[in-house]
Structure 1
Amino acid sequence: MGTGAAAHVPAVRPERRTRATSADRSTGSVTQKEEAVTLTPPPTSPTATARPALLRRDGVWVIIALALCLISAVGAFFVQTNGATVAVKDLRWETASGIEMSALLYKPDSATATAKAPAVVVSHGWWNNREMQDANYVELAKRGYVVVSIDMYGHGDSGPLPLGKEADAGTGMYDAVKLVAQLPYVDHSRIGVTGHSNGARAANFSLMIDNTAKSPLIAAALLVDNEGFYTDLKDPKKYVNNYGSRDVGIVADQYDEFFFRSYDATGRELTPPREFIHTPNAQSFLEFGRNPSGAQRTAATYYTSTVDGRDAFRVIYTPAQTHPWGPFSKQTTEYTIDFFQRAFGAPDPIAAGSQTWQWKELFNAVGLVGFGIFLVAFAKLLLATRPFAALRATGPLELRANTRRGLFWFWGALVVSALFSAWSYIALSQWSAIQGVVFNAVPTWIPQGAPFFIGLWSAINGVFAIIVMTVSYLLFGRKNGQDLRAVGILPGWRRFFHGIGLGAVVVIAAFSIVFVVDYFFTTDFRLWVLAVKAFTPDKIGIALLYLPLFLIYFFANSVAINGFNRFTIREKEWVNTALLAVFNALAPAILVLVQYWTFFATGDLIPGFGGIFSIWLFPVIVILAAAAVITRKIYRATNNPYIGGFIMAATVTMISVSNTLTVAS
């Protein structure tokens, strides 16, 4: 994570108004005479008159936060249930593979034992969860399909994935297909599968398993943002039709970070993703496995052939979008709707372009905002209660404009920290020694590779921030009167752990809201790839493994932002806060911008900077910008940078371990 806020300027002083005498002015002396001193109440608790005012003000913000969370839950619920005409069930069951599977079942009221409906099993991609398919399950269920959205093995609330067993039961998808085939309100001749990225890979695995079944179950498959199986699985030089008489389609993004390239015998890339439709693989697929020599079939066209006495079709869509945008693309969702309506028909036909899932995304985002507000408002509200009253700052700190030399340290440290953050991220992504751990390719005691990578990068940047702050203090701050105790950097152990206790209560309360929303409405709070969701108890133990890494960063980051860099710019503190928020997220934002600028301009990613590493930065950008604001607001009320740092570290850790892949040890 970026440490753009790791500049260090002692611009904060305890409140005291002073003026220089005329003699002092004439001689240029820095001697000042005290004009007035503001008396403050004892630090043990707010005054009797202040406490009700604090309760009212912060209580209002807590109510606003809870209202936003409720609006989010109710709104998202009514969108995903199509006005309460689709029943939603949270499924947990032990499959034939011996692993517990988690899934969401969407059953329209129109699907009954006497009016059986077609069904589609949908799957997210690698390092995601079942809620990432909400565009598909909202739109398909609204049109009368029974939809099951799975947590693939190792993801979300499903059991851990045994290492090297991804292909078994299609990482869980085929086990879900077998469950769907037993439902009394499903037309067993019209069962389809679709998935994004690794979910498409799971669909491919499931189709190959289904090929060996005595009574095949899958009639149609749409592979989103992953390759099809174009050649014989034992002889890659021989084109074959691996999908038989099923209807099959592929969504091949023109700017896919991982797939749809062609290579020569030496491994040199011949064509980028945007030229995929012209490759032999694509043409053979559209030709039902025949030799593609001379074929010139086009994208978004349905090609039909009779296979084993049944008319089947093939289609390839090539939207101009990136890989992670697939699950949130109106265009891809339209392709999915059109594909299954052609394959199975629809009990309630609705034009593919008529979509409402975006409203669910909006409501989910409203809840995410409410969640963030709650972290701050509830923390401040607790300061007005007896157990935590001693943590409230007893008086405001006077903020002064910085000096020219101070601004030099401020801007210099911002730039240096941002550069180090970007460099360290790229260097870590290229460190071959940890690749096996990060991608869960080798046996290890680390159950989740992605959070480990982000946590390790965070800790490295946290240590660097501490080094920069130390240098700043020794060379500049100490000589200019910086008081580490006055600005809360050295609060004392008792006050430090008291603050950690407050932070723990806030985090527990915030996630309790998430669990209540999940229980009553089967929704959560999210924006694209940033998701705050309910989790299974095992995630708490996993989170404790990574929490120290995130604590190093967020403690250092909060100290840098609030203890070293809080001063006015143009006589306004909010300008200071805004700058720190921007620089906090600047390094990952630049890496993403440069990566995709290069991709769009050339058709290829930056050499040596893998696409997954830039995708992992999307939520980081939002989190780091928010961290500057959240920790600043809590610091202003407590004069303690560690409370906000702990709240951010614990929250981010739980978000990370709840939205990734877990492998069995």
Structure 2
Amino acid sequence: MKTNRRKWAGLLAALLACSALCMALAYAVQTDFGGVRVTTQVLQTPRGEIAYKLYRPASATEQQPAPGVLLLHGYQNDKDTSAAYAVELARRGAVVVALDEYGHGSTAVPMRERGYVDHKLNTSYGLDREGDGSLVEISGPVRYRVMMNFSNLSFFRDRYSTDSHGNKIQDSSMGGIEGYALLAGLPYVDSTRLGISGHSMGTWASWSTAAAYAGAVGAQGKDIAPRAVVLQCGELFTEDAYDPGSTYFNNVLLLTAKYDEFNYFRDFQNTVSDALLDTPLRLGFLGVEDGARWNTTYGDFSDGSARRCELIRTNHRLTTHDGHAISAAMDWFGDALELDTDLAATDQRYQIKEIAGLAAMLLAIAAMIPLMELLLTIPFFKKVVQPLPDRPARLKTGGRYWREAALTILIAGLSYPFMTQLGHGLLPVPENIFRMTIGNGFLSWYLLLSAVMLITMIVQWKRSKKRGQPLDYYDLGFSGPQQAGRIDWFLCGRGALLACCMVGFLYGLTVLYQAVFQLDLRFIWPFFRGFSAERFGQFLVYLPVFLLFFLLNNSKVFAQMIKPSTLRPGLRGFVQDWYKNALCMTGGVLLMILLEYLPFFAGIGPGADLLFGTTFGGPFMSLMIVFVPQVLVFSVLCTYCYRRTANIYTGGVTVACMACWIVTGGSAIL
């Protein structure tokens, strides 16, 4: 026993040491190995606190002020999603402010402060005409109206930005205006050489911020209007949408993702092709009459007329970390802001940070296993371990297993686009309680799947009695063999407490990394970050539904579908068991990925848009590439926990807490 304890303790220490080293490497790249000072701060505004991250190169001084760039992230992201652009700009001598926009990250101002109206446009702003039916009346929850108005900007004409009920778009910069003022006022920043870049939702914030500072004059009487705007998957509009008399935009680069899941970023066309550049909207943006080409600059930087459409062969979310996109942005800012650098645009280090951060996160999660093993040596937790049910009649083999697996995959996959979008916008929940917009999408989907799993469990229970081989709670993973006739609540409590210790350990490590390295556990997008009091309250609100779903899911996938490989010891048995469990847990979303992207890659268009309509495309379809990897990690944890303890509590509660943490830790809050 002591030998095993030492081995587990040694493994835990080794994993933590490697995780910390990876995080230290990520921090070194973030700070350009000491050449850039990075600080995380809070800006006080009339609407509340706005969090931001400041990157200050050592070369930026009051005697030699440097250009500055404001970075604005996309929906469901935060300031560290802008890290790739921030790292590369700071390496080239620019001071960077990366903002947490309203309702995101650590900013206290809720997303509803953006404002909303009771109508939306089903075409690009400025292309509609009175009476053509493109301005559609909407109603429903506040979150729905806010999201339906993301592309409606506060500097647009009153026809768009106000309604007859007294509602209006209040601040579509989502804090960008305050962030820009902060950047322009820094003593080591040259306020005459400022730029803005935003991704997705952040592109509308970029337009709004740039419009607010068009013709603006700083304290010294100098023009502080943005000299460059880089839109990472942005939407275009015409001058008919606003009053161009006092509003203008200097040197705009539009990065267009070839496989953008959001139709308004591809001008409401099914695909992004050369023909897209021949539309009046794109020709007007580029300032040419015909013959426009991708990756070609039109106009002149000196008078602010430079325009360019860069085609990036990636999807919507990955534009934030695409090498081609970042290279184009570095060249653009270099020309517009006159960056003094010898670095080529293709000289990029940000991926080292991201890979190191990914390794740090995976090592930290892996460290939960030896921690669990050490806790299982404590007498209180020893009783969590039960023998695996060795009941040959219950084992799912061959066609019997695959029929159940296929049904599980189909139900999860086919319900995903509908239930997530229903919850995202229209699920009738109290909005002052259930405030996580993406969380409501998963809430809806998980509740449906939980109901399906409960029904199938009851059906199997009754059928087993008719066959004379009744199921018991041991078969379902709710009890051990000694308490097979009822749910073992003591086992439940001990298993849940063990899971809380594991998740608490991961949370403590996350908070430590944020304090020491100013980095949380993520890869590109937010995963595990420290809670504010408000967000922890939301975690507690959503957790019961996540617990219900993941406990039932663990019962279904691990206990009710127990396989011969579950009983096989060693690594080979684990791998054989895990891949089937992983397929059941992710198969439905993998099916939707194929449905979405195969026709897209074939040049037809995104599958969800074509089959279900554009209402069911967009956020949750693009979210799948983030969702699948995290569930694969969950499947590893759950497989290990079930094989080790033969109950659903430790694995189910652990991944329920982790999934709820991801959803409530930094994503959009109404």
Secondary structure at the residue paired with 1:354? coil
One-letter amino acid of the counterpart of residue 461, structure 1: L
1:652 to 655, 659, 664: 659
- What corresponds to 2:202 in structure 1? 199
- What corresponds to 2:98 in structure 1? 149
Alpha-carbon distance in 2 for matches of 1:341, 1:227: 23
Shift of 1:277: 2.0
- What corresponds to 1:101 in structure 2? 50
Shift of 1:377: 2.5
Shift of 1:94: 1.1
Normalised TM-score (structure 1): 0.83
Alignment of 1:233 onto 2:241: yes
Higher CA-based Rg: 1
One-letter amino acid of the counterpart of residue 341, structure 1: G
Alpha-carbon distance in 1 for matches of 2:453, 2:476: 17
Give the alignment of 1:397-436 within 5 angstroms: 397=388, 407-429=398-420, 431=422, 435-436=425-426
Alpha-carbon distance in 1 for matches of 2:106, 2:621: 26
Q: 1:298 to 1:516 in 2, by over 3 A?
A: same
- What corresponds to 1:32 in structure 2? none
Alpha-carbon distance in 2 for matches of 1:164, 1:338: 35
- What corresponds to 1:591 in structure 2? 592
- What corresponds to 2:120 in structure 1? none
- What corresponds to 1:470 in structure 2? 458
Shift of 1:503: 1.4
Alignment of 1:497 onto 2:497: no
One-letter amino acid of the counterpart of residue 584, structure 1: M
One-letter amino acid of the counterpart of residue 117, structure 1: A
**RMSD over equivalenced CA pairs, Å:** 2.8
Alpha-carbon distance in 2 for matches of 1:98, 1:596: 41
Contact 1:380 1:637 (8 Å CA) reproduced: no
Shift of 1:356: 0.7
What are the Cα deviations for residues 310-361 of structure 1, in whole angstroms up to 9, with x where unaligned? 3642222112221111101011010111110011122333000111111011
Give the alignment of 1:366-515 within 5 angstroms: 366-393=359-386, 396-397=387-388, 407-429=398-420, 431=422, 435-436=425-426, 445-476=433-464, 479-480=468-469, 483-485=472-474, 488-490=477-479, 492-515=488-511
Alpha-carbon distance in 2 for matches of 1:241, 1:322: 36
What are the Cα deviations for residues 80-103 of structure 1, in whole angstroms up to 9, with x where unaligned? 1111211110011212x4221111
Shift of 1:476: 4.1
Q: Larger RCO: Structure 1 or Structure 2 (Cα < 8 Å, ≥ 6 residues apart)?
A: 1
Alpha-carbon distance in 2 for matches of 1:434, 1:485: 37
Alpha-carbon distance in 1 for matches of 2:296, 2:317: 24
Secondary structure at the residue paired with 1:531? strand
- What corresponds to 1:113 in structure 2? 62
Gaps of 5+ in 1: 1-49, 264-268
Contact 1:194 1:221 (8 Å CA) reproduced: yes
Secondary structure at the residue paired with 1:315? strand
Alpha-carbon distance in 2 for matches of 1:283, 1:173: 28
Contact 1:196 1:223 (8 Å CA) reproduced: yes
- What corresponds to 1:182 in structure 2? 185
Secondary structure at the residue paired with 1:171? coil
Alpha-carbon distance in 2 for matches of 1:449, 1:311: 38
- What corresponds to 2:112 in structure 1? 163
Normalised TM-score (structure 2): 0.82
One-letter amino acid of the counterpart of residue 93, structure 1: L
- What corresponds to 1:5 in structure 2? none
Shift of 1:387: 4.1
Secondary structure at the residue paired with 2:110? coil
Gaps of 5+ in 2: 116-153, 155-170, 219-223, 481-487
Q: Is the deviation greater in 545-554 or in 212-221?
A: 212-221
- What corresponds to 2:259 in structure 1? 255
Contact 1:93 1:100 (8 Å CA) reproduced: yes
What are the Cα deviations for residues 40-77 of structure 1, in whole angstroms up to 9, with x where unaligned? xxxxxxxxxx2x23422322332233123202210100
Alpha-carbon distance in 2 for matches of 1:69, 1:330: 26
Secondary structure at the residue paired with 2:196? strand
Secondary structure at the residue paired with 2:373? helix
Contact 2:67 2:95 (8 Å CA) reproduced: yes
Q: Is the deviation greater in 65-74 or in 570-579?
A: 570-579
Q: Is the deviation greater in 221-230 or in 311-320?
A: 311-320
1:520 to 498, 507, 516: 516
1:75 to 7, 22, 25: 25
Alpha-carbon distance in 2 for matches of 1:367, 1:248: 37
Contact 1:437 1:444 (8 Å CA) reproduced: no
Contact 2:389 2:475 (8 Å CA) reproduced: no
One-letter amino acid of the counterpart of residue 90, structure 1: T
Contact 2:57 2:90 (8 Å CA) reproduced: yes
- What corresponds to 1:130 in structure 2? 79
Q: 1:437 to 1:397 in 2, by over 3 A?
A: closer
- What corresponds to 1:6 in structure 2? none
